[in-house]
Amino acid sequence: MGERAKALLVDDRRDNLLALEAILQGLPVTAVAVESGEAALKQLLTDDFAVILLDAHMPNMDGFETASHIKRRERTRHVPILFLTAADRDAQLALRGYAVGAVDYLTKPFDPWVLRAKVSIFVELWTKNQQLKVQAEASKEREAQWQRLTGTVDDAARVLRAGGEDAAAEALDLLEKARWGD
């Protein structure tokens, strides 16, 4: 598999992005930092993310509008969003965050260890999901191989039932080709 989980960090303040990158240091995740909701949406067109850390208050497109766009897209609607905000503990803002699809809403200053723990969980879930996709693909390929082999055995059996002087050689040839993947 080999693909490393990514976390999308979205904040209009560069110093906040640097702080988030420092907090995530050492986790098995690649941090991708952008400074606007628009940049986040563009990034989501090309990359897959395990989690999005999204500032609620940004100029132009705020975090709530950005989250709304993210959740409307088929490709990104499943990506967990953690809202981060410097606003006081206004319950209405938290409810608004949850209403647009956030899985959590943290107010600054927050405990960096709590954020690390939350991100770790989403990275682990993403990694397990990737492993399941790989296993499902391998299972699908094994099933396809099984179907091809079963079809070849059926063909060889039909040739043998039909008889004829070369039936055994023809059936054996079918089976040998299937065995070696020809």
Intra-chain end-to-end CA distance of the chain, in Å: 28
Q: Dihedrals φ, ψ of 29, to 5°?
A: -145, 145
Helix, coil or strand: residue 178:
helix
pLDDT tens-place string over residues 9-52:
999 999 999 999 999 999 999 999 999 999 999 999 999 999 99
In 3D, which of 142, 158, 159, 152 has the Cα closest to residue 179? 152
Q: What is the pTM of this model?
A: 0.76
Amino acid identity at 145: Q
For the chain, list the domains and their CATH numbers. Answer: 6-132 (3.40.50.2300), 135-180 (no CATH)
Angstrom CA distances, 111 to 107, 118, 129, 172, stand at 10, 11, 28, 69
Is residue 1 pLDDT above 60, yes or no? no
Q: How far apart, in whole angstroms, are the C-alpha atoms of residue 16 and residue 13?
A: 5
Q: What is the pLDDT of residue 91?
A: 64
Q: What is the pLDDT of residue 174?
A: 83
pLDDT tens-place string over residues 61-89:
999 999 999 999 999 999 999 998 876 65
pLDDT tens-place string over residues 116-174:
999 999 999 999 998 998 899 999 989 988 888 888 888 888 888 888 888 888 888 88
DSSP state of 56: S
CB 3 within 8 A of CB 47: no
Q: What is the pLDDT of residue 88?
A: 62
